[in-house]
Amino acid sequence: MSEQTTFDAIVIGSGISGGWAAKELCESGLKTLVLERGRMVEHVKDYPTAMMDPWDFEHGGYISEEEKATQLVQRRTGQARDVAAKHFFVNDIDHPYNEDKKFNWMRGYHVGGRSLTWGRQTYRWSDIDFEANKNDGHGVDWPIRYKDIDPWYSLVEKYIGVQGSKEDLPQLPDGEFTEPFPMNCVEEHCKEKLEEAYPDRNLINCRSAHVTGENAPEGRSQCQLRSRCRRGCPYGGYFSSNSSTLPAAEKTGNFTLRMFSIVHSIIYDDETGMAKGVKVIDQETKEELTFYSKVIFCNASTVGSTAILLNSKSERFPNGMGNDSGELGHNMMDHTILGGANTRIDGFEDKYTRGKKPGHLYLPKFKNIGGSEKGKNFVRGYGYQGGASRRAVPREYASNAIGGEYKDGMMKFGDWRFGITCFGEILPDHRNKMYLDYDKKDGWGLPTVTFDCELRENEINMANDGREEARKMCNAITGRDDAKTSDNTNKYAFGHGIHEMGTARMGRDPKTSVLNGNNQIHAVPNVYVTDGACMTSAACVNPSITYMALTARAASHAISELKKGTFS
Amino acid sequence: MNRREALKSITALVGYSLTISATTGFLSSCGEKRAVVPEWKSVFLSQADAKAIEEMTEVIFPKTATPGAKDAQVIKYIDDLFKFIYKKEETDKFLEGLKRVSLKAADKYGKPVGGLTSEQYTELVSSYFNIPEEEFSEKRRAANKEEVPTDEIAKDEYYEYYYFTTLKSLTISGYFTSELVGEEVLDYNPVPGVYETCLEETPETRIASV
């Protein structure tokens, strides 16, 4: 039997947004092909390290020099330095790219993509974020507002499971939360002290895509407090495509998943003024294949989707599909993670915790939010992730201590520490870009991606302010002045936040944006881009929930357009 | 079924709503007995070197109410890392240090380093560590530089301190990542099911191993 080549819908990519597109399209009755460039990762079965303890790893968990050499870029952010998760990150020799300026491009080429290894922090945007471009003139105005996405946030939250507490904050709208992870006694103490010193700031429970409370989503169970999320969770304790949306899509009988399918380009049809299909290179055989559909969802990741569009050239689109504005590949954003502060907390020396929370606290932004304090020398804002924990007595590898007492001392708890790390917004800037290098092709004959992005004054000023405020807040909690700041500015490169965004932005005007308010390419309405590429600005919170909500919203739009016959 | 296999087979349960009590009940139903470890043969070090190094790890981490480095088979860990992980120049430097320490021991005790009494091992190892912290730090820093001193006494010290500081690090990491210490000495709680926010510490309380 020959392979089926015609479908109602094609979804490129099976990560956090592709999984949602697949689920929504399949559940509406559309025969949907999901193209995944890498291998299968089946929920539970393909999490080889999930139940391994340190002593179960060969060579004490150390990675040999030969193996390290295959992931030199993936190791930059620490992600692939962990022997327990490195198999979810690409081989950098097989998947090269170029850096006009240093760029940390962290990737997982397999079913589920980075939904397996994501940070799981889940924060809604507010109108402060959706209106930011309009208000300060950076980038272009978002074509949507909070009210347009609010119901879709709810739909996604209810389905994926988000633990958190309701706080009624204008800059961080509440959602459909399940029981929050409890704060430990020192976190409660820090919250009290901090909010006493700064009544307009809030130290709250983090919000994350972990299952808590009585009712687990179908096929999943409660978070077991292991903090081994990045290995894949056999309990389905956190949300991933693999544990959730892909099985839901499969259940409909409308779902076809094709692995090892590298998308070369989207094919434009001059007669209809729409896309008619997708050209694919089989990763294993290098055979060229074509698949056809009425609608296409591009969810290959910010960089992946943008590279596909840039390579989708035709007479109508000589500079890449949908690139009438010249903005395709531009306005790259990320989040800065340039440091924070931490301090010792006294008075709880007889208390300890048991179990491992996979997420602790969040401190939402407090500057540049309407009537609040203004940033002295920056626009937009930052928030912090952090928490308090009691660590073991330090091991002092370098000291001259030896002996039984020294050994047994290290089995005890040491100081409590509280710390917060600043996540800052990066402005959309046309100069921050990616483009394709046709002189350097990869192993499948595709042009490689080159990055040319850097932090500018606003980001640096904001991060400096965030570090200083973190120090002051730590000192306000302790009443001492010995908080330590950490400064990663010299180690940071664009991409380090692993929140690449913005290279096919949404907008109101086709002259200055790639996508419209429904995530359709302005000039090719049956192509939807709903991963991070669509983002018009970056806010300072983790973006995945917004990709998922926009995807569900766009899928609903596409389904109704198909019913109306718009794409036939 | 040992505890780890039991844990691994939990994955078969997924798909049902797994409650905390189901998890812990399942675990505690499996009695565990440690398998007898067959006599260990080194894969990289000579048997004589392995014996001497093992005795020295025991001086760094001796048996107390808790197991010592020998119980935790730290030497097996060290031998494995030298074969598979450490760079040749690092293992060469380490072994050069051991050689120089051995020569000194032979001079002092009149027998090869593999044949000392435990008191003699303690005296030998302690003589390198029981010096003022600042002096120790200085020697450690010098030993970890690439540049080898030309002066013979300084050269001895360079290799010997590389050997001992490396050995100390390996003893700590090998000990605390061992199955024995992880499962039976520290608080082994691989599937907590709950976050306990404020427990009272007692003298018996130990840190978590995983």
| Complex ipTM | 0.92
Interface of B with A in 187-206 (CB under 8 A): 187, 189-201, 205-206
Residue B18 has pLDDT above 60, yes or no: no
B123 found inside a domain: yes
B67 and B144 share one domain: yes
Burial class of residue A454 in the structure, from the number of CB atoms within 10 Å of its CB (0-12 exposed, 13-18 middle, 19+ buried): middle
Alpha helices (runs of H) in B45-151, residue ranges in sequence order: 47-60, 74-84, 88-109, 118-129, 133-143
User: CA nearest A233: which of A356, A117, A113, A111?
Assistant: A117
For chain A, 568 residues long, give each residue's pLDDT as a single digit of tens: 578 999 999 999 999 999 999 999 999 999 999 999 999 999 999 999 999 999 999 999 999 999 999 999 999 998 889 999 999 999 999 999 999 999 999 999 999 999 999 999 999 999 999 999 999 999 999 999 999 999 999 999 999 999 999 999 999 999 999 999 999 999 999 999 999 999 999 999 999 999 999 999 999 999 999 999 999 999 999 999 999 999 999 999 999 999 999 999 999 999 999 999 999 999 999 999 999 999 999 999 999 999 999 999 999 999 999 999 999 999 999 999 999 999 999 999 999 999 999 999 999 999 999 888 899 999 999 999 999 999 999 999 999 999 999 999 999 999 999 999 999 999 999 999 999 999 999 999 999 999 999 999 999 999 999 999 999 999 999 999 999 999 999 889 999 999 999 999 999 999 999 999 999 999 999 999 999 999 999 999 999 999 999 999 999 999 999 999 999 7
- Helix B47-60 to helix B88-109 angle, to the nearest 10 degrees? 80
B77 and B146 share one domain: yes
Phi-psi region of A435 (alpha: psi -120 to 50; beta: other; left: phi over 0): beta
Q: Mean pLDDT, to the nearest integer, of B41-49?
A: 94
Number of domains within chain B = 2
Residues of B with CB below 8 A from A231's CB? none
B97 and B54 share one domain: yes
How is residue A343 written in tokens? Answer: 């301090």
pLDDT of residue B37: 53
A410 shares contact with chain B (CB less than 8 Å): yes
Residue B22 has pLDDT above 80, yes or no: no
Cross-chain Cβ contact A356/B208 below 8 Å: yes
B78 found inside a domain: yes
B30 and B91 share one domain: no
B12 and B107 share one domain: no
Domain coverage including residue B130:
47-177
Alpha helices (runs of H) in A259-401, residue ranges in sequence order: 302-311
Instruction: Count CB-CB contacts under 10 A for residue A346.
Output: 12
B11 and B69 share one domain: no
Which among B8, B132, B182 has CB closest to A55? B182
pLDDT tier for residue B8 given thresholds of 50, 70 and 90:
very low
B192 found inside a domain: no
B200 found inside a domain: no
pLDDT of residue B10: 42
B94 and B54 share one domain: yes
pLDDT of residue B11: 41
A179 shares contact with chain B (CB less than 8 Å): no
B7 and B74 share one domain: no
User: Whole-angstrom Cα distance, residue A18 to residue A36?
Assistant: 10
pLDDT of residue B38: 58
B73 and B169 share one domain: yes
Lowest-confidence region among A393-402, B36-45, B68-77: B36-45
B151 and B88 share one domain: yes
B14 and B110 share one domain: no
**Parallel, antiparallel, or unpaired: how do β-strands A382-392 and A361-363 relate?**
antiparallel
pLDDT per position as a tens digit, B84-116:
999 999 999 999 999 999 999 999 999 888 889
How is residue A132 written in tokens? Answer: 């930011």
HSE on the CB side for A223, CA within 13 Å? 29
B21 found inside a domain: yes
pLDDT of residue B36: 54
User: Whole-angstrom Cα distance, residue A73 to residue A79?
Assistant: 10
With tokens 């597109």, the residue in question is A21
B153 found inside a domain: yes
A351 shares contact with chain B (CB less than 8 Å): yes
Interface of B with A in 99-158 (CB under 8 A): 125-126, 129-133, 136-137, 140
Quick check: A512 and A140 in contact, CB under 8 A? Answer: yes
A350 shares contact with chain B (CB less than 8 Å): yes
Cross-chain Cβ contact A355/B192 below 8 Å: yes
Tell me which of A402, A408, A411, A412 to substitute to probe the interface with B (most B C-beta atoms closer than 10 Å): A402
B63 shares contact with chain A (CB less than 8 Å): yes
Q: What is the sign of the dihedral through the CA atoms of A393, A479, B199 and A192?
A: negative
pLDDT of residue A1: 58
B199 found inside a domain: no
B150 and B101 share one domain: yes
Backbone φ and ψ for B146, nearest 5 degrees, come out as -75, -35
pLDDT of residue B69: 98
Sheet bearing A335-345, strands edge to edge: A204-205, A361-363, A382-392, A413-425, A335-345, A484-487
Residues of A with CB below 8 A from B11's CB? 44, 47, 50-51, 234
B120 found inside a domain: yes
Residue B13 has pLDDT above 60, yes or no: no
